[in-house]
Amino acid sequence: GIASVIAFSFFNVSGGPWGSEDIFTNAGPFWGVIGIVLFTVFFCVPQCLLTSELCCALPRNGGYAVWVREALGDFWGVQEVYWQWVSGVADAAIYPVLLWDTIMQLTGRSGAGRFEVWRWRMGVTAIMSLPTFVSFHFVPGLLIVFGFGTALPVVAFIAYGARLVDPKVWLQTVSGRPLNMGKLINSIFWNLEGWDAISTCTGLVRKPRESIIPRGLFIALAATSLQYITVLLVAAGVSEQFEPWYSWKDGSLPSIGASLGPWMGLWMLVASAVGNAGMYLSEFVEDAYLLQGAAEAGIAPSFFAKQMPFTKSPYVAGIFQFAIISVMVVFDFSEILVFDNFFTGMAVLLQFVSFFVLRWRRPDLPRPFVVPRLALPLFLPAVGILCFMLFHCFVKAGKASLVTAVAFALGTPYGCWVIRREQLRKASGGGSALDELFSGR
């Protein structure tokens, strides 16, 4: 029902305010809030509308990959799957980094060397991965517990801190340095993108989807945006004396909570831990099953389809992802974020292109929900935001640009290999592996 759509969307997009500090650090409270509002209207609203229309028109669990394949063909459908998997693994790597950075700030371990930091992040990654080593089936129940564990301290922080805020701080902007629009948009994008996630389980949403999906998405969008605005404004208003907003780093919120009392700092740390663990597990499991499904369909090496004998968990896919994440956590939060955003942005750009191509090529496609004509102009700034962010990610990202270029380049031969295998299977009278992968209902 609608409650499930709201919960699923909220935890896939946000899961809490963790990692949102850079929005104010890059722009200040005034422009930070304006940025969140503008991004919500000119990017998130079009993405929710697009997702609602295509989920109802093509109600398959393959989601966005189905849309792209229907509009642009097999090759781009494979690229969509590849880019989403790469961005998902990178996104999972962010959460151990974010949690360890939070612990370092609270304990004052700012002088640790890069190797020591990487070693501790590896340990955090291993601890977060423990439930997946036992069974993937424990994860859904854990996520419900984690949801309550991260929400209650945040509500307490807002309620307690609201009495102590200095509203004058909210009008402050960056001074003495130019506004870094690229970093600001990257930070907001990472915190507010992901409204297409519901498409991966559209077949499970009960009818009438044309009312449940859009209503659920827009309620979750309003709750998520208000969460960021409220938490960041309260944090800026209570921390001016000892940790002003321009000194914030990723993971600063628990240390700001400590200014209200040691109990609040500890509570916020626990909330950060369970929130980051929940996001890590949900992303890790989703990507492992995607890799397993690709292997079973014959478009990835077959050993990725191997499962635990009793739990049926895709353990080879999980070990492979754990190895990649263990390497990626050597990078800083901002470097992984840029890598993650590039592949997510490319995948979302394909979705926007597919939306218009399907409107043009398939006008007869039944659409129980249709994006209103008056809302279509919002898609232009959404595509502009995507293109600007992608340019910043690829051209101005320093060390991350090289890793991004290599990972991006690997997608082309992979896509060609899959298409060639498809042609050989069809020539020999076999079925389509892509039909098998994308046909879930």
**pLDDT given at position 350:** 94
Distances (CA, A) of 198 to 136, 161, 258: 20, 34, 36
pLDDT digits (tens, 9 = 90+) for 296-346: 777 778 888 888 777 667 888 888 999 999 988 888 888 888 889 999 999
pLDDT(53) > 70: yes
Distance CA 108, CA 88 (A): 31
Peptide bond into 178 cis (omega under 30): no
* pLDDT (average), residues 410-418: 89
Reduced DSSP (H G I as helix, E B as strand, rest coil) percent helix, strand, coil of the chain, to 5: 80, 0, 20
**pLDDT given at position 441:** 41
**pLDDT given at position 309:** 74
- Per the model's pLDDT, the better-predicted residue between 42 and 367 turns out to be 42
98, 128 contact by CB (below 8 A): no
* Res. 63 pLDDT band, cuts 50 70 90: confident
Q: What is the DSSP string of 117-185?
A: HHHHHHHHHHHHHHHHHH-GGGHHHHHHHHHHHHHHHHHHHHHHHGGG--GGGGG----SS---HHHHH
Distance CA 271, CA 48 (A): 28
- Per the model's pLDDT, the better-predicted residue between 9 and 107 turns out to be 9
402 burial class (0-12, 13-18, 19+ CB within 10 angstroms)? exposed
| Length in residues, the chain | 441
Distance CA 74, CA 94 (A): 31
pLDDT(188) > 90: yes
pLDDT digits (tens, 9 = 90+) for 110-131: 666 778 888 888 888 888 787 7
In our burial notation (b when 16+ CB lie closer than 10 A, e otherwise), range 165-183 reads beeebbebebeeeeebebb
* pLDDT (average), residues 396-422: 83
Residue written as token pair 């929400």: 151
81, 65 contact by CB (below 8 A): yes
219, 10 contact by CB (below 8 A): no
- Determine how many CB atoms are found less than 10 A away from the CB of residue 316: 20
* Res. 204 pLDDT band, cuts 50 70 90: low
**pLDDT given at position 397:** 64
pTM, two decimals, is 0.88
**pLDDT given at position 439:** 60
* Res. 275 pLDDT band, cuts 50 70 90: confident
**pLDDT given at position 260:** 85
143, 11 contact by CB (below 8 A): yes
340, 91 contact by CB (below 8 A): yes
**pLDDT given at position 130:** 76
Distance CA 191, CA 375 (A): 23
138, 281 contact by CB (below 8 A): no
Distance CA 8, CA 190 (A): 17
220's tokens: 């979750």
